[in-house]
Amino acid sequence: MAFVSMTNMLTQAKHDHYAVAQFNINGLLWIQAILETAEQQKTPIIVAVSDRMVEYLGGFECIYQMVLTTQKKLKITVPVALHLDHGATVEHCLQAIDAGFSSVMFDGSHSPIIENIKNTKVVCDYAKNKGVSVEAEVGTVGGNEDGLIGGINYADFDECIKLVEETKVNALAAALGSVHGKYSGSGPKLGFKEMERLNNHLTIPLVLHGASGIPVEQLKKCIQLGHAKINFNTELVTTWADSVRKTIQENPQVCEPRLIMLPAKQALIEKMTNIIQIIGSANRI
Ligand SMILES: [Zn+2]
């Protein structure tokens, strides 16, 4: 397999108390920026595609080929997982696996827990035979969760344990107060007590969604309490948009996309390098 599952990289990260970054792609330039940064920093990396972006990016096969070809062209040697983020249906997860993705998230968190467990198990059973890792979600991350806007709904402890036991999922996103998008008012209110209890009862790693805007000290506490995968998206798209705006404002005559996009790529690399160093995954390979 061209890509590796998340299982080994996250097991190692949890054991050594650091976290692996998940960065979502929005086109070829993003793939290059993520892979170049991971190689420079000697870190395992999770290249993810949000379910809602799949069609925009040309479909699962096209995404697979773009990442694979770029990985070869750049002679990437660090472990790369190609991951579907917030897979909305069982079918989408199976399609991603069939296309060559090495990891998928099935997000059944908006359904009743019985249905979430049932569907997550279908994905897990299919993935297992192919060496593909699966992430599940319990509770609701606040803000805009891949198109679904809602409040924070803390993950229920018993539901988390039940889902993990019955599905044998590889990683769990237990929503404990984080938000997709920007935090408002006094910032994040993470449930560290709940996190600690869950971590004491689970052997699999936890996944933190909506990490952009969480203070560094709190991120580190999440890592100490079992989070081995942290998803960053909002601060990357903000960094990209700020750079594009700045280039166009400072050079109103510029038309060539390359001249607008390359500074944005550099800005992304700097931001991702900073994140990788904060969460401790640099120089692990
Ligand atoms: Zn998320």
Neighbours of ion ligand 1 (CB under 5 A): 209
Q: How far is ligand 1, taken at its centre, from the CA of residue 86, in Å?
A: 6
Q: How far is ligand 1, taken at its centre, from the CA of residue 252, in Å?
A: 36
Architecture of domain 7-279: Alpha-Beta Barrel (3.20)
Q: How far is ligand 1, taken at its centre, from the CA of residue 210, in Å?
A: 6
Catalytic member of 85, 98, 107, 146:
85
The strand pairing partners of 251, in sequence order, are none
Per-residue tens of pLDDT for the chain, all 285 residues: 489 999 999 999 999 999 999 999 999 999 999 999 999 999 999 999 999 999 999 999 999 999 999 999 999 999 999 999 999 999 999 999 999 999 999 999 999 999 999 999 999 999 999 999 999 999 888 776 555 555 667 899 999 999 999 999 999 999 998 888 888 777 788 999 999 999 999 999 999 999 988 999 999 999 999 999 999 999 999 999 999 999 999 999 999 999 999 999 999 999 999 999 999 999 999
Q: How far is ligand 1, taken at its centre, from the CA of residue 147, in Å?
A: 11
CA 55 to chain centre: 18
| pLDDT in the model for residue 140 | 83
Selection from 209, 205, 5, 230 nearest residue 97 by Cα: 5
| pLDDT in the model for residue 109 | 94
> Can 51 be counted among the known catalytic residues?
no
| pLDDT in the model for residue 167 | 98
| pLDDT in the model for residue 108 | 97
Q: How far is ligand 1, taken at its centre, from the CA of residue 241, in Å?
A: 20
Q: How far is ligand 1, taken at its centre, from the CA of residue 263, in Å?
A: 27
Burial group, residue 262, by CB count within 10 angstroms (0-12, 13-18, 19+): middle
Question: Domain residue spans in the chain?
Answer: 7-279
- Give 107-173 as a DSSP string: --TTS-HHHHHHHHHHHHHHHHTTT-EEEEEESB-EEEETTEEE--BPPPHHHHHHHHHHH--SEEE
| pLDDT in the model for residue 149 | 55
Burial group, residue 184, by CB count within 10 angstroms (0-12, 13-18, 19+): exposed
Q: How far is ligand 1, taken at its centre, from the CA of residue 256, in Å?
A: 33
